[in-house]
């Protein structure tokens, strides 16, 4: 997400090159999370990014609103902040990054676990593309 006055705001989507040439705002992440992101976005290419890691979601949002970079976060985290006009959500031109997830359970709770799994799959938050 980024400010409507950010130089990349007019683009319908963001490219890998766009990410390489701007400051990225992100939460403090585990090395495995960073590695997953880099592999999904850049493949085997080795890149040095201008990455500002912030401990609070609100700090990422505030810096993005101020035009100080492009915030990187899951769309579901942004749903409460959309529609105010102070942030734009952009996807990568290569498409959204999707993470697989799993649910583990003990045999004794199989029925309840399956119901929980179904409920979670049906309630995946969605945001409007480009909003």
Among candidate residues 4, 43, 50, 58, the one with its CA nearest the CA of residue 23: 50
DSSP-derived 3-state class of residue 70: strand
> In the chain, where does DSSP find H-type helix?
16-20, 31-42, 57-65, 75-78, 110-122
**Extents of the domains making up the chain:** 1-97
Q: Is the pLDDT of residue 124 over 70?
A: no
Closest CA to 71 of 52, 86, 55: 52
In this prediction, residues 68-82 reach a mean pLDDT of: 81
pLDDT of residue 129: 45
Q: Residues 89-117: what's their mean pLDDT?
A: 87
Local confidence band at 26 (pLDDT 50, 70, 90 cut-offs): very high
Q: Phi first, then psi: what are they for 110, rounded to 5°?
A: -55, -50
pLDDT surpasses 80 at 113: yes
Please identify, in words, the CATH class of the domain defined by 1-97: alpha beta
CA atoms of 43 and 24, how far apart (whole Å)? 18
For residue 131, the model assigns a pLDDT of 39
At 130, the pLDDT band (50, 70, 90 cuts) reads very low
């Amino acid at each position: 997400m980024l400010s409507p006055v950010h130089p990349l705001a007019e683009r319908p989507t963001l490219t890998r090159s766009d990410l390489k040439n701007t400051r990225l705002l992100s939460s403090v992440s585990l090395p495995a999370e960073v590695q997953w992101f880099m592999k999904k976005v850049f493949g085997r290419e080795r890149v040095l990014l201008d990455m500002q890691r912030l401990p609070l979601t609100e700090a990422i949002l505030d810096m993005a609103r101020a035009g100080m970079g492009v915030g990187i976060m899951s769309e579901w985290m942004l749903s409460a902040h959309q529609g105010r006009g102070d942030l734009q959500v952009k996807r990568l031109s290569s498409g959204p990054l999707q993470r697989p997830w799993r649910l583990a359970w003990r045999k004794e709770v199989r029925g309840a676990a399956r119901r929980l799994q179904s409920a979670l799959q049906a309630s995946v938050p969605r945001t409007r593309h480009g909003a």
